[in-house]
């Protein structure tokens, strides 16, 4: 099950998602790498892009 949350690491904030297994364990965490910057989106002012890929 995916669970979206805001994550702070030092001075940076990330828009992250955790994948949770059926037994409740966290399978992995992904930090959003592509932050939208269009009309109506303000995310680039608050979040840094993640630099780590995701597990397949």
What DSSP state is assigned to residue 44? G
Domain-by-domain residue ranges, the chain?
A: 2-45
Rounded CA separation 29/6 (Å): 11
pLDDT digit string, tens, across residues 2-15: 999 999 999 999 99
Would you say residue 43 has pLDDT above 70? yes
pLDDT given for residue 56 in this prediction:
61
Do residues 44 and 35 make contact, with C-beta atoms less than 8 angstroms apart?
Answer: yes
Rounded CA separation 26/3 (Å): 10
Q: pTM above 0.85?
A: no
Do residues 17 and 30 make contact, with C-beta atoms less than 8 angstroms apart?
Answer: yes
Average pLDDT on 28-33 reads 91
Cα Dmax for the chain: 40
pLDDT given for residue 55 in this prediction:
67
Would you say residue 36 has pLDDT above 90? no
């Amino acid at each position: 099950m995916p669970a979206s949350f805001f994550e702070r690491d030092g001075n940076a904030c990330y828009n992250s998602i955790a994948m949770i297994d059926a037994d409740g364990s966290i399978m992995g965490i992904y930090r959003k790498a592509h932050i939208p910057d269009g009309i109506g989106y303000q995310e680039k002012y608050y979040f840094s892009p993640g630099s780590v890929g995701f597990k397949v």
